[in-house]
Structure 1
Amino acid sequence: MAQHYLQEEHHMFRSALQKFLAKEAVPCYSQWEQERMIPRSFWRKMGNEGFLCPTVEEQYGGAGADWAYSVVIIQELERVGSSLIGIPLHSDIVVPYLVAYGTEEQKQRWLPGCVSGDIITAIAMTEPGAGSDLAGIRTTAVKQGDHYILNGQKTFITNGIQADLVLVACKTDPQAVPPHKGISLLLVERDAPGFSRGRKLDKIGLHAQDTAELIFEDCRVPAENLLGAEGQGFRYMMEKLQQERLVVAIAAQAAAEEMLRMTIEYTKNRQTFGQPVSKFQHNQFKIVEMATEVELGRAFLDQLIADHLGGEDIVTKVSMSKWWTTEMAKRVAAQCLQLHGGYGYMEEYEIARRYRDIPVSAVYAGSNEIMKLIIAKNLGL
């Protein structure tokens, strides 16, 4: 499938990344799933090879590359396994906040470590009582002298256990009307007094991805760790959600392509009733239907990536792609497992893991129901 926004240098980069992942990730991935963690050593290896935060400017240790390099990285990581999603979250969701809204001091302090893999980041929006309704968060930060006193809990935080720097959405003005005008963003470091990790959450899938609860109890955060201006946090999050949701769509599309590929290969080789499973007309039709949906998803997604690279506002279409692509990937996972027969339910076959991993993509970065509400609003309904 041609991706017209990619040039020769992007394809060369992809080839180098594939070789790196074949050596450093593929042989270790099952062990990481069992250990429930991507080791920090892998993050540093990614950084050493220039595979973290490629769009960060050279003065901060990055390559100053265009976002198409990130697209390549997201796709290739997903082809290895969905538990690697914490790396694109770091490079393409959290770090762009620091790049866009950080002070020069903040950038010099943290960006080089983000690029090298010595600093792992997370973003803490969701709370036990507030998910898609970001205006309803209850975590507060009260200014006292040269510090903020942060109190609250966050949950479902990707990279939550290993994160060295957490971007925390909080209320600096709980009385603000409307409520979202009271939201600010604080950068909380791992050794901040009053900051602790709760449980490493036991998930259905994404087993190697560390997802955690974060707890702030009179946590002292230096005032200079405020990102941007007080009361502007909600606006910042809305500005960055287009790329976040595009990241999710890219990963879901790559997962669907990978599941289809492995299923076609399996059905060609698996014999039943004296012939390959792929020779039965019913199975051919199912594969054809999936292949068509995957192709449609790719065409739509590639156009959105090109538009995003061009700086266009594509919030409505990204919301369409995020919900449609993730639902499509769920359908593909279910059908591919069925075509594997009993073996599809066995842990030794990759489709079993893929079947577990893909459903959450319809939930995070804003549930698909929220995507439809955004689309409806932007259609003037």
Structure 2
Amino acid sequence: MAPAFRFRAEIDSLPAYVPGQRPPAGRPAYKLSSNENPFPPSAAVLSAVADAAADLNRYPDIHATGLVAAIAAHVGVDAERVVVGNGSVAVLETVLRAACRPGDEVVHAWRSFEAYPIAIQVAGATGVPVPLREDGGHDLAAMADAVTERTRVVLVCSPNNPTGTVVHEDEMREFLARVPRQVLVVLDEAYVEFVRDDAAADGLALAREFKNVLLLRTFSKAYGLAGLRVGYAVARPRLIRGLRTASTPFGVNALAQAAALAALRESDEVAARCERIVQERTRVLAALREQGWTVPESHGNFYWLDLGRRATPFAREAAASGATVRAFDGEGVRVSIGEIEGNDVVLRLAADWGHFIEQLSPATL
């Protein structure tokens, strides 16, 4: 009897993507677990989505031509340098499928965005994780050392999810000088609109200058369109043509295209909302440090608490107190910057835990 069909063995061993915890049904809670924008869509965005819904019997523009042109104008590049997808994760998946063959390696920092190992393995490649520095930042020197003749792609997440740290321009340029030209460097800037570090790497400038740099960005965070899934890449035209060929047809639906176009027209309002989130982030980080916590300098709309083995118990207590946060079991907790009241729930809990943790030895964490 012939054996039953099975997917590739690598699929069975994939790590599961763990989404941010949702508040329990029927219980009020602040959702600070998924790095979502706490502000609802504007009236203009909702109107654009409603208008687009009238044509749901039609396929969307396969290449999202109008949206691509608007993104290109917004970031100051030619449209032939932009491709869109169903969120920046989908664009990354296409990049890895197009770039990697079985046995190829992808170097990335760890801990970083948890979708990376999954996307790498699905593409048939082998991930090469490089530990973060003690301050939660990328160890670019060690990542460069990890590049071999089998390396096809390097992933750099700045700001890094979940620690919030950014890669600086000088260290990024030093890193690129060490990476062979035949290796693609993907710079993931999902949270770039929240960065306030003048020394941070300029992803757009690097993508213009270096032929092997591909920039990823998204409408999910600053633009508040996480529920519609729109992301894009900026790179050399030759790379973009390849991604368009390899992408899923009609990958960005009509409602998402309409919403993203409307959101781009409200750049001043988007910037103002981001600034409010940044100001609240500043308040929360200052309060945590005053409590005695050592917190990485976050430039995302979230922050990281290094709790080790106590990460999951902390998340359980946060949920019981009325705020869901994202625990990485055995490592730490990532907390999104949300409504002020929700942020204060976590601050009160952190104050209680801070007094408890400072009495413990590092080994017990």
The two structures share one fold, judged by TM-score above 0.5: no
TM tier, smaller? under 0.3
The structure carrying a bigger helix percent of its residues is: 1
How does the TM-score come out when normalised to structure 1?
0.25
How does the TM-score come out when normalised to structure 2?
0.26
Tell me: higher relative CO, structure 1 or 2? Use CA pairs within 8 A at least 6 residues apart.
2
